[in-house]
Structure 1
Amino acid sequence: MSILNDYSLEMTAKERPELDNAAGRILPGTQIAVAFLPNEDMESRIAAACHVRSLGFEPIPHISARRMRSAAELSDMVERCAQYAGVKRVFLVAGDPVRPDGPFEDTLSMLRTGVFESNGIESVGIAGHPEGHPIMDANRLASFMDRKVDEIGARGMASTLVTQFSFDAQALLDWHFSLRERGISIPVRLGVPGPAGVRRLLRYAAFCGVGATTSVLKKYGISLGKLIGLAGPDRLVSELEQGLIAERSDNLALHFFPFGSLGATADWISTYPHNKGLAA
């Protein structure tokens, strides 16, 4: 079974036209996350979730704890997403602001409101950090993950871990297997970049704190001496397939970050089996 049998994608609210153009090349029922960007308003995010549903895909709105201005705003967003877009899955993050815009410091504080299960949410996604976290050490990160998983389960919902994107297959594999060794068996989606311009990939990597050493980038297919052109995840996905050859289950899949190129990512996914012979 291919690791691409159950992939998911990410988009922003402004990318609805791109989704329309790419829809015919995306598997029906595919999970599509709608990112929570500070320069997009709530109406746009909810409209995007509705648009994803109208095209036959599964919308997963992101919700940023520290960007929610009130409990009422959180309740309104979840209720409307459930009512109008049939949302059953959400993805929760703490968010970037150092100081919260409202009453929520982190994902746990949102979970404890009860707003998700009361609106029929069945699954909650939380972030995984294969390359570490800028303000948490590994032990604290693991403890916080466990607390979130326990809280979600106690409220009758399922958990999914979705990682930040990475250029480093070994980092993703090591993190995944360490998770299983800790006895965490919930579904995992490993984040990989879609095909994009080299400069754009490096810009997002810097912004997201993703490891981008010269050796890792070279293995991925990026040369710092040649920043013009496109780079795709062929080698990364191939290496992940090889490293996960013994594990083919519903609990593991890939999550693609298209970086504004939904169509190019959909094309890449649909043709990837033909590219597996690409030279390493």
Structure 2
Amino acid sequence: MTIPAIHPNWSRSPIGMTDGYSLEMTAKDRPALREAAAGIAPETPVAITFLPGESIDARIAAAADVRELGLEPMPHLSARRIASHEELEQTVRRTVAEAGARRMFLVAGDPPVPAGPFADTMAMLQTGIFEANGITAIGIAGHPEGHPAMDEAACWTALETKRDEITRRGMATLIVTQFGFDADPFIAWLEALRARGIDAPVRIGVPGPAGIKTLLRFAAHCGVGASTSVLTKYGISITKLLGTAGPDALVDRLAARLTPAHGPVRLHFYPFGGLVRTVEWINAYEARDQ
């Protein structure tokens, strides 16, 4: 189906690997977003995470900032952290009204016991709240390196089921993957995804430049593979954990291996070392690439 409200360059293969990238932020990153904004391309999608301890008002204000700066907000919603149907409806309605949101990213969330009636993404989708409020695209998670609570077959079933439900409700599907250090799992997963007939646009999760210990801490929390061989390929020495690391080698390998057969693919940056630093890295990489 036609993909509405996504990036206008989805229809062609990337000329530069960072073309049409997206970013992630938290509500607390509003000052950093304003500092980095001049270096961010207009209409760049910016995801606003759903962190515990951040209020609805704070997340909506962050989304409004994204829109005010000429960028495209994509707020996250964490099913198991939403206390009621009314909270979900209010959040979606206000984010559309106050931030012009046209897309949202849905996850089940970490808590083992839901705070309200939503145990997973499907439970939120089936309310009909998103299309009723004018949302045209829904982001869902992809797991090239597996999911801690599901085996591979269950991951594919969940992805296909959500894609089908989103399509049935007249919205477009966008897949954003967990971040990784190695191009191989991303490429293998993309090939399996397309072989299953899933043609939705994919954003590959890339860690922005950060301190090595910070990267490893996030990797451990997210269940991302970080073996000695993988880290070496990425440019991190396991015997030398001081200093910083950027995704240069990872992005270079993806650029060398991605083909039109992998479908519409872009990069999604997780700014573990900060938004400003990540945007500076992207612009430096683009200049080098040109």
Q: Normalising by structure 1, what TM-score?
A: 0.96
Q: Are residues 1:261 and 2:274 paired?
A: yes
Q: CA deviation at 1:273?
A: 3.9
Of 218, 234, 240, which aligns to 1:226?
240
Aligned to 1:158: 172
Aligned to 1:134: 148
What SS does structure 2 have at the residue aligned with 1:222?
Answer: coil
Q: Deviations over 1:158-195 (max 9, x none)?
A: 00110000001111111111101111111000001001
Q: Normalising by structure 2, what TM-score?
A: 0.93
Of 45, 62, 69, which aligns to 1:48?
62
Taking the aligned partners of 2:118 and 2:260, their CA distance within structure 1 comes to: 41
Aligned to 1:101: 115
Q: Are residues 1:122 and 2:136 paired?
A: yes
Q: Deviations over 1:30-65 (max 9, x none)?
A: 000000011211111111001111101000000000
Taking the aligned partners of 2:43 and 2:286, their CA distance within structure 1 comes to: 21
Q: Give ranges in structure 2 of 5+ residues lacking alignment.
A: 1-14
Q: CA deviation at 1:3?
A: 2.2
Of 185, 194, 201, which aligns to 1:180?
194
Aligned to 1:63: 77
Moved over 3 A (4+): 245-249, 273-277
Taking the aligned partners of 1:150 and 1:245, their CA distance within structure 2 comes to: 26
Deviates more, 1:203-212 or 1:257-266: 257-266
Of 214, 237, 240, which aligns to 2:228?
214
Q: Are residues 1:171 and 2:185 paired?
A: yes
Of 249, 252, 257, which aligns to 1:235?
249
CA contact (8 A) 1:188 1:252 kept: yes
CA contact (8 A) 1:15 1:260 kept: no
Paired residues in the alignment total 276
| Structure 2 CA distance for partners of 1:57 and 1:165, relative to 1, 3 Å | same
Aligned to 2:44: 30
Deviates more, 1:260-269 or 1:114-123: 260-269
Aligned to 1:272: 285
Aligned to 2:101: 87
Percent identity over paired residues: 55
Taking the aligned partners of 2:286 and 2:73, their CA distance within structure 1 comes to: 26
Letter in 2 for 1:144: A
Q: Deviations over 1:110-169 (max 9, x none)?
A: 000000000000000000000001111111111111110000000000001100000011
Q: CA deviation at 1:245?
A: 3.9
Taking the aligned partners of 1:118 and 1:274, their CA distance within structure 2 comes to: 42
What SS does structure 1 have at the residue aligned with 2:203?
Answer: strand
CA contact (8 A) 2:190 2:262 kept: no
Q: Deviations over 1:58-78 (max 9, x none)?
A: 000000000000000000000
Taking the aligned partners of 2:65 and 2:226, their CA distance within structure 1 comes to: 34
